[in-house]
Structure 1
């Protein structure tokens, strides 16, 4: 876990209420010694990368900051096509308070902040008592894989243990030392697991902006390879992308089939007419022929395709 390291950064100087919230984030490598029988592809591994973020805030800022993180989760998941994920509010077991750290007042603050934040955003949630971490309540995000198994991906947690154990403080408006509240968040959780589930969810048909190879140029004959390379250079001057030129001595039908199999979003075909008129014939993966247009026109249309927000 990366939480202690961010806490140590926090303690490098005295903090004021005016600075709050203070936010740190990193893609950090973490390890878990899973048993061999529990390992499963990319979805359960021993070493993985976690998008770890920590927010240190005043108690009166907790709900607002929690809302901001939930908004970010909904934005990111929506852009990646995950619209039917499940959310679970994990609370402590009120009948067994001894296994949880912190005082009742702080737990009530954290639990109410999570419940109110999800209600304000109209999120459909389930609530489970006894599922909270020993250091605070949390909001977990789950999605199902291709065969229906449920996996936890992102999580947002209210953490009382770290500020207490590392003696984190800030000077309040009353000139007295106060304890901050810490929000732990990971939108992807394990990025390896998230990528595995994303591949299954999309069937490899990534959004254009996410596809590893977004454009491939298909010359009808070898004498048009140089024209295709010029187009690739022209496009790269605008976007700096990984663009392929299929230089194989194959018929154009074979090149198109192979590009479709690789699920490359855009296929630009060039022959005699296209090279003379500075145009390309466009095919879109899964949609077929889209006609012949100027290269400059394609560039402007493509600019809209790769816009994420």
Structure 2
């Protein structure tokens, strides 16, 4: 195991499963040390959820390091140079403005041996530049930067959408109370879904795989379903018929034109177009290696009280 010192950035919805699984697998190796970088305010927060996470991190034997990723690049370089590998679970919370590129440059300038950037999502290259979601262009900038050098090895993990998001009211697809499904793009438009817990488990497997995976985009998936499949799942689990409505590509494009800064409508446009947002399970790392994952149907069965909506 070459990556003896591992720094994980962030401990949010995805960060915690990544920390949990990398820490557990690290115990199988000699002298592999895992550290999590968090703001001082987060480490000492009185928020119950954050306190619970901090307690779990400590119980896992993971070290906590106080630091702010919004600091100057020179400060980040000084931190990163102490680690063999950096795994970024920062998410998009910081928005655009070069944050992801700044992190990647600091990692390279620090001479980190291996980098897992925050690219947990769709196939940005297949979607291409100038898409409805302007955050994606910076992801492509990061990829170009990583490919332009050969000192730091990198791994990008494409996961699709978090499974829960497809069932959330804010996304405007499934309405449990009205018993309706509003498909975007087409009923046969597919989307790949993976739960954060599955992403955490598989990321750890990818990290510790021998021979080491390097300079590669690795696709994983919990499930790949169409919006038609989603309607069938809802009807099957609820035992009730759901109204089916389709917002075609013209409608979702016009919705975004009328509200161009709307974050959700940007994503609806991407996922309605259906390009670069799905891939077959048998082509994924977990599919090829027989790693079980939670399907969309199983997630919905376990996490939604269908009787409540009858």
| Interval of TM-score (by shorter of Structure 1 and Structure 2) | under 0.3
TM-score, normalization by structure 1:
0.23
Structure with higher strand content: 1
Question: Which structure: larger Rg?
Answer: 1
TM-score, normalization by structure 2:
0.23
Higher RCO (CA-CA < 8 Å; seq separation 6+) = 2
